[in-house]
Chain A
Amino acid sequence: MIRTMHTLLIEDDSDTATFIQKGLGESGYNVDHADNGIDGLHMATHGQYDVMIVDRMLPGMDGLTLIEELRKRNIHTPVLILSALGEVDDRVDGLRAGGDDYLVKPYAFSELLARLQALARRSQPEMQGTVLQVGDLRLDQIKRKVTRGDVEIQLQPREFMLLEYLMRHTGQVVTRTMLLENVWDYHFDPQTNVIDVHISRLRRKIDKDFDKPLLHTIRGAGYSLHEP
């Protein structure tokens, strides 16, 4: 993290709130906390935050209404919704209300952290344009072409999408669930470690014949693509 991320956590369960505050604090986040929807909306409207975590069920004003209200007031801070309702339709409702990502309880903290990172990144100026670059790895979105140094790398369409996602989130941890959701659009976990297999295939193509590896496995969390 180059600078401290300011996070607003709106969550009524004090144990969960303490847990998230502590965890995020240790990861270098600055966390403000509101324990009801009314205060949460007030703080979100008047404070400056990089990202928000909103519980779906809140006293005072429920999470989805709060987000709708924020969007109406033209505040577009990325929002991660936390919910105990986990079906696809619930997720769709959440995203429709203006949420940017949706995480179902119970979740692993590493998952929360990875998703938050991905969201916080959105509010920062991102590398624009149609060519993504990490180190000497270049991906041209228009020409559908990938090169590392001078070598052109042949990728299957899905591998291309996978790499594109990893490059868009360069320097961040990307979990298997995030890949399943964003690259394959699956909202469940297969038992077979299909993602690992696809990552290792991709790794073989982009890293194997080069000195410095770019695609790293983060134990117990997921993967990260970044410069050595």
Chain B
Amino acid sequence: MALSLKLLRTTAFRLSLIYALTFSLLAATAMGFVYLTTKKELMNQTDARLQLEANILINQYRAKDIDALFESLQQKQHDSRTSFFIYVLVHRDQKDITTGFVPEYTTPDGKQAFATLPMGLLLKTDEDHDDDPVRVLLTQLPNGYQLLVARDLNDQQTVLRKIFNTVILTILVTLTLALIVGMVFGQQVVRRIEKVRKTAGEIIDGDLSRRMPVNRRNNEFDQLSRTINSMLQRLEQLMHGMRNVTDNLAHDLRKPLNRIRNRLEVILLEPRDDDTYRETIARTVEDTEELIATFNALLSIARAESGERRQDWDEVDLTELLEQLAELYEAAAEEENLSFTADIARDLKLHGNRQLLAQAVTNLLDNAMKFTPSGGRVTLTATRNNGNIIVAVEDTGPGIAEQDREKIFERFVRLDSARSAPGSGLGLSLVKAVASLHQAEVKVSGRNPGTRFELIFDVG
């Protein structure tokens, strides 16, 4: 019941109903036209036949006399070929010459006229047929005679009634069929929407992995479902990212916080000299600075991943940005006794967030500097290739083992070889987040020795 009520309210059903009504109305108009035309045509034919019959009789009368006419009327009355016709000859003063019945009808102008009358006016019949319609041609003859040639309309009426019934039936069938089709179609739509609603409900209840059903038909519903699904995908990603951040915060900030707390507690256990206090406090400030850095890095990653305020993006002059970074790092590399080369193509432009892009490349350069031993080489290149811009940072450090190359982008992951180096294990996570925010791909490959990181931007 609830479903059928809902069905009546669906747009699909209403549309089918309107469609059905319009169609039925058109059908009715067309059929009505056919009906009326047929009726008129039948009447015209009848009138023509009556006229013909009357003319023959009148000519006979003119050629001979009233008795001859009377005789042929009697003949015709018994002729089966003319059994549809009724012939009546009456005189003003006398009774009906043929049947003895006086019709109560006369021509208004005293000459010739057509009329449709009930049979009872013309003939003495059994009561049943008194109301049957007949078509009459009345002809006024001299000396008070009147000739009536009539045709029984019963058969025509039957034909017309049949046509009329057909018209009504057609309209009814059309309406019914349209309604049924509407119901079925509406039902499908209702079921489809019901599924979407149910899925949405499950998602609201917390199951973010649910997706809208998609059929192979690829109609509007499937397309809509697909769009909603990609939206859900994005939402799930964001939720996942947020959850990750909270988890990471819990895991990785707890440890240093605990360390600070323990240190301070130990210091409070007994009186110490000023230098010890100073030193402890200084170390604690350093620790908090590290915590703040980690915290900021996590927030930056989360922001980059959620793609916030993407509408504020600008055209970034990547060439200018990379040249500036090259200049910034070239000096630092020299200080570390590394050779630094940059090869940056002209006019590289990109739609994006300048600060985030700079930070991502900076992180790659920081890593390269950190892991490349003295005497090694760090290279920054940027090239354009088939609608892509490829920014690559290459070093001659120890390299990254094949099996670790996926892992390094996860938060707080620090490979054993990097444990001794300073860092939070968040640098590459940010690179990854910034890359996906800009729909870029990050590729790591080995150089033996060394590592090559590529950011591949699609600038079509």
- Residue positions of A touching B, CB distance < 8 A: 86-89, 106, 108, 156, 158, 184, 186-194, 197-198, 200-201
Does B46 interact with chain A (Cβ within 8 Å)? Answer: no
- Residue positions of B touching A, CB distance < 8 A: 288-289, 292-293, 296, 299-300, 303, 308-309, 312, 324, 327-329, 331-332, 334-335, 353, 355, 358-359, 362-363, 365-366, 369-370, 422-423, 427
Q: Which of A89, A189, A194 contacts B293 (CB 8 A)?
A: A189
A106 in contact with B303 (CB, 8 Å):
no
CB neighbours of B366 from chain A (8 A): 190-192
Known: A89-B309, A184-B324, A192-B369. A198 touches B362 (CB 8 A): no
Tell me the nearest residue of chain B to A198, going by C-beta.
B331
Question: Sorted from nearest, which 4 A-B pairs have the closest CB atoms?
Answer: A191-B366, A197-B332, A197-B331, A190-B362
Taken together as a complex, chains A and B put the C-alpha atoms of A190 and B362 apart, in Å, by: 6
CB neighbours of B332 from chain A (8 A): 192-194, 197
A-B contact pairs, 23 of them (CB 8 A): A86-B296, A87-B303, A87-B308, A88-B353, A88-B355, A156-B327, A186-B359, A186-B362, A188-B300, A188-B358, A188-B362, A190-B328, A191-B363, A191-B422, A191-B427, A192-B329, A192-B365, A192-B366, A193-B332, A197-B331, A197-B332, A198-B328, A200-B335
Known: A86-B299, A188-B358, A194-B329. 7 other contacts (CB 8 A): A86-B296, A184-B328, A189-B293, A191-B366, A191-B422, A191-B427, A197-B332
CB neighbours of A201 from chain B (8 A): 331
CB neighbours of B423 from chain A (8 A): 191
B309 in contact with A188 (CB, 8 Å):
no
CB neighbours of A108 from chain B (8 A): 289
CB neighbours of A193 from chain B (8 A): 332
Interface secondary structure of B, over-half rule? helix
Taken together as a complex, chains A and B put the C-alpha atoms of A186 and B324 apart, in Å, by: 11
A187 in contact with B355 (CB, 8 Å):
yes
CB neighbours of B312 from chain A (8 A): 89
Taken together as a complex, chains A and B put the C-alpha atoms of A106 and B369 apart, in Å, by: 28
Taken together as a complex, chains A and B put the C-alpha atoms of A88 and B423 apart, in Å, by: 23
Taken together as a complex, chains A and B put the C-alpha atoms of A46 and B410 apart, in Å, by: 54
Q: Which of B334, B358, B365 contacts A186 (CB 8 A)?
A: B358
Tell me the minimal C-beta distance from B362 to chain A in angstroms. 5
Tell me the minimal C-beta distance from A95 to chain B in angstroms. 14
CB neighbours of B292 from chain A (8 A): 106
Tell me the nearest residue of chain A to B309, going by C-beta.
A89
Taken together as a complex, chains A and B put the C-alpha atoms of A189 and B292 apart, in Å, by: 12
CB neighbours of A106 from chain B (8 A): 288, 292
Tell me the minimal C-beta distance from B260 to chain A in angstroms. 14
Tell me the nearest residue of chain B to A157, going by C-beta.
B327
CB neighbours of B365 from chain A (8 A): 190, 192
Tell me the nearest residue of chain B to A105, going by C-beta.
B292
Tell me the minimal C-beta distance from A122 to chain B in angstroms. 25
CB neighbours of B309 from chain A (8 A): 87, 89
Tell me the nearest residue of chain B to A89, going by C-beta.
B309
B329 in contact with A188 (CB, 8 Å):
no
Tell me the nearest residue of chain B to A201, going by C-beta.
B331
CB neighbours of A184 from chain B (8 A): 324, 328
CB neighbours of B300 from chain A (8 A): 188
CB neighbours of B299 from chain A (8 A): 86
A191 in contact with B329 (CB, 8 Å):
no
Taken together as a complex, chains A and B put the C-alpha atoms of A192 and B330 apart, in Å, by: 12
Taken together as a complex, chains A and B put the C-alpha atoms of A198 and B324 apart, in Å, by: 13
CB neighbours of B328 from chain A (8 A): 158, 184, 190, 194, 198
Tell me the nearest residue of chain A to B362, going by C-beta.
A190
CB neighbours of A188 from chain B (8 A): 300, 355, 358-359, 362
